[in-house]
Amino acid sequence: ETGVTQSPTHLIKTRGQQVTLRCSSQSGHNTVSWYQQALGQGPQFIFQYYREEENGRGNFPPRFSGLQFPNYSSELNVNALELDDSALYLCASSLYGDEDYGYTFGSGTRLTVV
């Protein structure tokens, strides 16, 4: 059973640029969630994807968008990067509809905006 893998592990971007982060879900999972974790803070929910559609969103602006593919992998896209977007971005996969499931997190992508 493979876990959740994220790429890249580290990334440096310039303010105003766009970035795409990738996530492969755990085998057997069909739902992907994305979280942003600023330094010293707990992870904050960005959104969740199921059946290739967004079905839950946290308090993040529209410049944060995502995709889910038929193989359940996912991308997080952030446009017009701001310095405050510097954070660890975490992907978590799960099995939708199973009320007794846990979420498996990846190791994250560390994004630095300069």
Q: Which of the residues 19 through 38 are near another protein (CB under 8 A)?
A: 31, 33, 35
**Rounded least distance, CB 24 to another protein, Å:** 13
Burial class (CB in 10 A: 0-12, 13-18, 19+), 111: buried
Q: Binding of another protein at residue 66 (CB under 8 A)? A: no
CB atoms within 10 A of CB 48: 22
Candidate ranges 10-18, 65-73, 78-86, 99-107; the one touching another protein (CB under 8 A): 99-107
Choose between 42 and 62: whose C-beta lies nearer to another protein: 42
Burial class (CB in 10 A: 0-12, 13-18, 19+), 93: buried
Q: Binding of another protein at residue 60 (CB under 8 A)? A: no
